Each structure stands twice: as C-alpha cells, then as structure tokens.
Amino acid sequence: MDAELALRTCGLSVDLGERRVLDDVTLDVPRGAVVGLVGPNGAGKTTLLRAIVGMLPAASGTIELGGTASYMPQLGPGAWDFPLDALEVALQGSYRRAGWLRRPSRTERGRAMDALAGVGMDGLARRQVGELSGGQRQRVLLARALMQDSSLVLLDEPLSGADAATEALFTETLDRLREQGRSAVISTHDLSWTAERCDLLCLLAGRVCAFGPPRETLNPECLAAAYGASVLDVGGVRILAPEGHHEH
Amino acid sequence: MHYLTDPLQFEFMQRALVAVLLTGVASGVLGSYVVLRGLAFIGDALTHAVFPGIVIAFAAGRSILLGALIVGLITALGIAVISRGRRVSEDTAIGILFAGMFALGVVLVSSLATYQKDVAELLFGNILGVSASDLAMAGAATLVVVGAVFLFNKEFSLIAFDREMAQAMRYPVFVLDLVLLALITLAIVVSLRAIGNILVLAMLVTPAATARLVTNRLVVMQVTAAALGAIEGVVGLYISFWWAVASGGAIVLTSTAVFFAVFIAVEARRLRPAGRARPSGMMAR
C-alpha cells in the first residue's frame, strides 16, 4: 500500500447475519486527513468502523492499515453505572501496551492524566464516570482512544450528546491529530459540522455514494443518493428530516 | 466470650468456619462481576445446573464438588456456545440449559430413592458435612478464583464496562467470558457444602450489591464484598449454632439483613436535607 495512506479499503463488503450491510466500499484515507462519515441510520457507518478495527470480518474485499487503529465506540447508558473513574477509563487505552497479567505503569498513569488534560478533564479525573455529563463522558472516551497511540483514530458519533464546548474540543483534537500526521474517521449526523471540519467526506448508504472534499460531495445529487427523500431543501439550505433514534 | 469460643471446641465447627470464610471470599470477589454485569440469572442457572453433577458423583461415590464443577463448566460452555448465534438470546439459552440440567438432576435423584435425604442436604447445605477433603478442594478453588481475578482484573473490568472496546482492542472476549463463567462455577462449588445449592446465588449477589452501595471504586467494591461475605458467613454460622437453624439459611439471611441495613442508611443519608454537608463523595451516585 502507498506509504502516504493511513487506510485503504478495496471492494469491502460486510455481512451481518444474512444481510449485506456494506457493499463494495472502496476508500483511500491519506495520512493527516480527517474524514467525515455521514449517512442515514442503517447506512453501515458503525459497521464500517467495526470492520476497519477488525471486530467484524470482511465478506469480500480487503482492508489495509498504514499503522494501528484505535476506536471510540458509542456506549449504552447502562455502562456508566460502572464503578470506575475518568482516569481508569482513560487508562484502558493503554491496556494492550501493558500486556497480560500486568497493571499499567506509573508512566502510563501520567500519560492518561495528560490525555485527560488534553480534553479538559484533568480536574475530574477521579470522578466516577456516572457522575459526568454527556459531553464529559464523550471527552473521557476520546482521551481513551487517544491513549491507544494509533495512527488512525475511528470515532463513532462522538458528537452525540456533546455540548458546544465539547464540540469545539473535538475540533481542536482533530487539528492536533492532523499536525501529528495522524488520521481520523469520524461518523456523525451533523452535516454542517463535517462540511466545515473535515478534509474529506464519505457519504455512505450501504455503499459509497460519494467520497471527496465536502464541496464536491455535499451537492443535491449525492445527498439524495445517500439520504433519499429525507433531505429537505429549504431555501438553498439542506436539512435532514428528523430521525428517530441512533443506529446500533 | 464463651458464645464465640464454645462452638470452636467442635471440630466440625472449626471446619465449618473455614468453609464459610472461603465461601465468603470467593463469592464476594466474583460477585462484583455478577452484579456489575447483570449475571445474576446466569449465576442462578449455574447453581441449578450443577445439580445432576452432584447426584451422579454422589451415586458413583466420587467427590461431589468435582462432579458439580465438571457439569457446571459444561453448562457454562453450552450457554456461551448456544447464545453465540443470533437466533437464541443468552437469556433463552440460560433458561433452556438451566431447566434441562436441573430436570436431569431431579430424574436421577428419583431413581436413587435411598439417597434422597443426602441429596436434600446438598440442596440446602449441611455444615456438619464439611469434610477435610471438601475443605482442601474449596481452599484450592478459592485460591484459583482470587488469583484469576487479581491477574485478569483489568481485562474483566474492561469487558464488563465496554465490551465493544475490548473487542476493538482485539481481546479474546469470548474466551475471557468463558473463564469468568468457569470462575463463577468454582465459587458456586466452594459454597455448596456450607450454603447449599439453592441459596448459593445469594452469596454471589448480596455482599457485592451491598458493597456497591458504599463505594464507587471497583477494587474497593471487590475487597469490601469479600470481607462482607466472610464476616456474614461467620455471623450466620454462629447464629445457626446457637439457634440450631440451618446454616445456609442463617448465612443468607444475615447478608440480606446487612444489605437492607446499608441500603436504608445510604438512602437516609441521601434524603437528608441539603443544608448539612455530606462527607466526601463516597455515597454519591
């Protein structure tokens, strides 16, 4: 694979049970690029991220990584009752480095504190995660994903439940990743945010409807192909019809 | 003082004391995961599923703890394998196997009429029946349980908190789940003599649930649950000695009473007028 690429998927298809969820997905993600992954519910956004990180097998096609990938999943509300604090959750990102049978080192604890500081959560490091707000929880999960130290960061709807400050913080973090030559793929329902903040946009609806810079992909034809009738054109502003709930 | 020392003149009480201490520690440590992962139903299923193993081992004159352990492990594996597919949920797989295994035990018992009294003792526990070899096995099993939780705590806690992340980090989640079920089976087997098959579940759930009420830290919860399980076991044992009631029931009732006492104390504290400062965050939820 080209050394300039962080990720290449080629003709990737993924099945969940009998159903083909992703069909013939071909993407090249350059190093240092932030890719927005948008599409309607059930478009296969989460499935694509899971396949890239290796949780789901490819039915056909290939996935190549130019390094390692880390992942920030969506977390069900039940998980937050768990008796862990923000620092312990951030530390989970270092578990693979620590290896089996060993606890994370003092150095790793220091790095986890730094990661929390990077998302403005160092003051709440010892707070039980259930006592954090929605935006704060997303920041802790982001810190954990960054702790994995990978060249490609996959974020599954990190902006859901995020307040304005958290959203700004994600933008900052993405800028930092770019500077370090790391890449990110970030799934979201927020079209205007992706249009402003992402280098590339992937419109997904089971297959790739459009892939390229936002100005090329956010046109009526591509949007209609991905979203069907749920895109409304209101005086030149495209809005999405309200959606019931998030996919899982 | 003699209330505490008198019973210990009897050798069976000394053995019983060690047995309930082991039970309390093993169940308390693992109970934290049973409570946090919502595994109470699977725990219940495993306690019932070991029943045919007990009966077969009893009839064959082999170690009933070993019999229970083998059948428990097979059941745990069965639940994990059947619920892997999408058409049978884990709850359903548990329901099928647990009822099926217990029914097998019932059929086996009914064919061995003369042993029915002894088997009943296993269902409800008989503290007088703890033999030296039972203790040795319970001790070894407790060691394995505590050691495994100590060594794999970071993996178990990651899976319990965020299973998807554990998969994304390429942990063998399925295997680790099986290991956890096997450890729960071990804890059940440890408790079999002192508590009895039917009430074992309480030791896996109640002390850990009590510990969760007073701490927001996983390790503190595990240690507290183990300590509570051991203390409640000893208190229950003395109650059963002095009041001449069944040991398993006395121990479980003790831990139930402690749970409600702590629950009421925590709730009362929570509902207290906001004017009075609350000591630092321990109870906060």
Nearest chain A residue to B148, by CA: A101
Which residues on chain B place their C-beta less than 8 Å from a C-beta of chain A?
Answer: 36, 86, 151-152, 154-155, 157-158, 160-162, 164-165, 167-170, 212, 215-218, 220-221, 281, 284-285
CA–CA separation, A192 and A36 (whole Å): 11
Q: Contact, B75 vs B101, CB < 8 A?
A: yes
A77 touches chain B (CB under 8 A): no
CATH code: domain of residue B99: 1.10.3470.10
Using CB atoms, pick whichever of A55, A81, A101 lies closest to residue B168.
A55
User: Is the Cβ of A237 closer than 8 Å to some Cβ of chain B?
Assistant: no
Q: Averaged over B163-174, what is the pLDDT?
A: 92
Q: What is the mean pLDDT of chain A?
A: 88
The residue of chain B with its CA nearest to that of A103 is B154
For residue B167, being part of any structural domain is answered with yes
The answer to whether B73 and B46 are in contact (CB under 8 A) is: no
Residue B285 within a domain? no
Give the per-residue SS3 of B94-134. HHHHHHHHHHHHHHHHHCCHHHHHHHHHHHHCCHHHCCHHH
User: Which of B55-69, B148-162, B207-221, B270-284 has the weakest average pLDDT?
Assistant: B270-284
Given a contact cutoff of 8 angstroms between Cβ atoms, the answer to whether B161 and A77 are in contact is no
Instruction: List C-alpha distances in Å: B119 to B55, B74, B103, B195, B245.
Output: 7, 21, 14, 14, 19
Mean pLDDT of A238-243: 56
Confidence of residue B59 (pLDDT cuts 50, 70, 90): confident
The chain B residue lying nearest A148, using CA atoms, is B169
Residues of chain B with Cβ-Cβ distance to A100 below 8 Å are: 155
Q: Is the CB of A83 inside 8 Å of chain B's CB atoms?
A: yes
Phi and psi dihedrals of B254, rounded to 5? -60, -45
pLDDT of residue A248: 43
List, edge to edge, every strand of the sheet that includes A34-38: A69-72, A152-156, A183-187, A34-38, A200-204, A208-212
What φ, ψ does residue A64 adopt, rounded to 5°?
-120, 135
**Closest Cβ–Cβ partner in A84, A98, A101 for B218:** A84
Asked whether the beta carbons of residue A144 and residue B164 sit closer than 8 angstroms, the reply is no
Above pLDDT 70, what percent of chain B?
92
Say how far apart CA A27 and CA A48 lie, in whole Å: 11
CB B211 within 8 A of CB B24: no
> What whole-number distance in Å separates Cα of residue A179 and Cα of residue A201?
19
Residue B104 pLDDT greater than 50, yes or no: yes
Looking at residue B113, what is its pLDDT?
Answer: 64
Is A131 in Cβ contact with B284 (below 8 Å)?
yes
How many other C-beta atoms lie within 10 A of the C-beta of residue A136? 22
Look at domain A1-68+150-248 and name its CATH class.
Answer: alpha beta
- Write down the pLDDT at residue A27: 94
Q: Where are the domains of chain A?
A: 1-68+150-248, 78-148
Q: How many CB atoms lie within 10 A of CB B227?
A: 15
pTM of structure: 0.88
Establish if B278 belongs to a structural domain.
no
Cα(A26)–Cα(A62) distance, rounded to whole angstroms?
9
Q: Is the ipTM of this complex over 0.90?
A: no
How far is B67 from chain A, CA to nearest CA, in Å?
30
DSSP letter, residue B22: H
B189-198 pLDDT, tens digit each: 888 877 887 7
Of A35-39, B21-25, B104-108, the range with the lowest mean pLDDT is: B104-108
CA distance B68 to B142: 15
Percent of chain A surpassing pLDDT 90: 64
Using the Cβ of A105 and the Cβ atoms of chain B, whether some distance falls under 8 Å is answered with: no
Closest-CA distance of chain B to residue A228, Å: 30
Report the gap between the CA of B66 and the closest CA in chain A (Å).
28
Can you give the residue range of the structural domain that contains B146? 2-271
Q: How far is CA B111 from CA B56, B65, B108, in A?
A: 11, 21, 5
Which of A40-49, A169-178, B63-72, B112-121 has the least mean pLDDT? B112-121
Q: Are A67 and A85 in contact (CB under 8 A)?
A: no
Rounded to whole angstroms, the Cα distance separating B198 from B200 reads: 6
d(CA B67, CA B69): 5
Q: How far is A71 from chain B (nearest CA, A)?
A: 7
Tens digit of each residue's pLDDT (9 = 90 or more) over B23-49: 999 999 999 999 999 888 888 888 888
Structural domain contains residue B149: yes
Q: Closest Cα to residue A78, out of B44, B36, B173, B168? A: B36
On whether the CB atoms of residues A200 and A36 are closer than 8 A, the answer is yes
**Strand order across the beta sheet in which A5-16 lies:** A19-30, A5-16, A60-65
Task: Give the total number of structural domains in chain B.
Answer: 1
Backbone angles phi, psi at A200, to 5 degrees: -130, 155
